[in-house]
Structure 1
Amino acid sequence: MKELIEYVARSLVDDPTQVHVHERKKGDSAEISLQVAKEDMGRVIGRNGRVANAIRTLLQVSASRDGKRAFLRISEPQ
């Protein structure tokens, strides 16, 4: 799942070197944390959050195939 989010995010942004994905697993669920550069946040979130929702949908479908749950958190590097 981490690789899927990383691939999609790197395809969307202008600076793929600033994409960082971390995965925390807890039982049957996983929390994926996606960090992108401030300049690329608009591309990843999209108008009215449509791109972010599409990424979340892909993640949920991928997780459900394995019988798991997954959540996506998008943030800027600190």
Structure 2
Amino acid sequence: MLDIKALIQTMIEPLIEFPEDFEIKVVEGEEFTEYHLHLNPEDIGRVIGRRGRVIRSIRTIVYSIRQRGQKRSKIIVQDDATDQLEDE
């Protein structure tokens, strides 16, 4: 079985300046497996890229490696500010 979390980590780590703040949380749903990327606010722009090109490319790779019968994947980019807003 493919380790999608490791694949995402391998693609993201070279892009960021604060790897100590990078974390991937996996949330299993009925239809999707969600990969929540928690990043330092300064790294979010690098991961998203101009007009979303970088994150779109990463999503395309992750979506394309899904095996038959496996749940679909979603990648969600989050930062500490987003988490604080959701908690309030």
TM-score range (shorter-chain normalised) is 0.7 to 0.9
In 2: Cα distance, 1:52 partner to 1:6 partner:
13
Residue in 2 aligned with 1:11? 14
Unaligned ranges ≥5, structure 2: 84-88
Structure 1 segment 1-78 matched on structure 2, within 5 A: 1-27=4-30, 29-62=32-65, 64-65=66-67, 67-77=70-80, 78=83
Q: Which has the larger radius of gyration?
A: 2
Aligned alpha-carbon RMSD (Å) = 1.5
- Partner SS for 2:46: helix
Q: What is the TM-score of this pair, normalised by structure 1? A: 0.86
Number of positions where the alignment pairs a residue of Structure 1 with one of Structure 2 = 77
In 1: Cα distance, 2:61 partner to 2:24 partner:
15
Unaligned ranges ≥5, structure 1: none
Q: What is the TM-score of this pair, normalised by structure 2? A: 0.77
- Give runs of ≥4 in structure 1 deviating > 4 Å: none
User: Identity of aligned pairs, percent?
Assistant: 30
